[in-house]
Structure 1
Amino acid sequence: MEFTQRYVALGDSFSEGVGDWNAECPNGVRGWADRVAEQLILADPSWGYANLAIRGRKMRQILTEQVDAALKLQPTLVTIYAGANDILRPSIDLDALMAEYDAGIARLRGSGAAVVLFTGFDSVKSAVFGKTRGRTAIYNELVREIADRHDAEIADYWRMREFQNWDYWDVDRMHMATAGHTLMAARVLEVLKSAHSIEVPELDTRPARSRLAQIKDDAVWAREYLAPWVGRRLRRQSSGDTLTAKYPQLVQPVWKPATRSAV
């Protein structure tokens, strides 16, 4: 099928859709980008969609592996979020990295595609990732400069204060859950000024938890999610090492009702 409008999503686990588990989807996840694509296709059947994002990818991997592949698809719209996995590393030359990001965005915009960039999430309420808050704030300012320089749009994750509610997050506390991905899809479509029929789910009010219960929950989380995550980084491994892109070519997927995949 010949598509006159072509949306390509680039990035890491955020754009791949990790946390929005659905065994019917490639890689076992759906995600906000799939939901954006669905709305674009519903409004205009001339849209095709590709998603090249793979969990665990760092910025240089995204620029090397995904930008050329995206350009071959002749995109009219690109969304890209890169750098989150770099920010979490012990040491990073952020200025050098963002100079490379600038060059990558210049190539995407030079193709004529509209480009949507993301600022980083404000981790102020995270006991673990809050330590990188200052680094993320610098990253965000550099992203804003890149967007201004190349006339790109920004989905301002940092200022989406709704995401400070941890009910939008998966049990691993690192990725958005289905509710979070649904909300993000609506926010991205608003940036694109595209009408949509997405209904953001209302969150249940959590009962107050005792300090002891919270400590027990934190211990379980540290054992089941944080420790394996740290271990992979020490071994220089990634959860995406054995995965390929969900939709490497332009398609119009049929999204089925969610069934949670094994994690």
Structure 2
Amino acid sequence: MANILKVTNLNKSFGALHATDNLSLEIEEGTIHGLIGPNGAGKTTAINQLSGELMPDRGTIEFDGQDVTHWPIFKRAQFGLQRSYQITSLFPDFTALDNVAIAIQATDGHSFRFWGKAREDKSLIDPAMDILRQVGLDHLAHRPVTDLAHGQQRQIELAMTLATKPKMLLLDEPMAGMGKTESHDMMEVLRPLKGNITILMVEHDMDVVFALADKISVLVRGHCIVTGTPDEIRTNADVRTAYLGEG
């Protein structure tokens, strides 16, 4: 498979702290790639640089054949590199359907008409319903998002991201704050995306990572110590020592 994302010798320091230390990664198109590591390993700093929220000191980021190292976050998003955050960010006074329709409206260049009229626009509502169906929440389309459970709100946020038609998703702790049932529901939403959208996922829930990921990279002190399949990572002695703390 071709690589959609290639990171070469990425570096980011904050004073004496080397948050990203010669980080190199290659992500294959259409796969789910896990990024794991102990607390303070630099995972979120790495995601921030890939999304354009934080500029690296040195190194290169190539996405879909383009050097995007110095592109701002909005330009990367327009090019198909989208990021979700640990903290849910929705329009709380609107319904689930409204939230997804707004994302479609912004992406497709619709004019922002008075929202009451926009709710009657089938070119917004029909695709929004399709996306809600994709994440399994079409039955809650007309519920205000404030009435939804935390896991359902995270799924709405994912639906809004899918509405932008991304080539690749950067997911930072998609299971954060979820219970077992909610995590399972989110896994069942993410699994069918494999092969259609590339996903780089930072996640502390190892059951989720090993169940979903095609490959996993392990970060320690800002550096990738190994990349491999879930089985290879499970049996790697360096991972057990550095990540799991075993001798």
Normalised-by-shorter TM-score class = 0.3 to 0.5
> Which has more helix, going by share of residues?
1
- Normalised to the residue count of structure 1, the TM-score between the two structures is 0.32
- Normalised to the residue count of structure 2, the TM-score between the two structures is 0.34
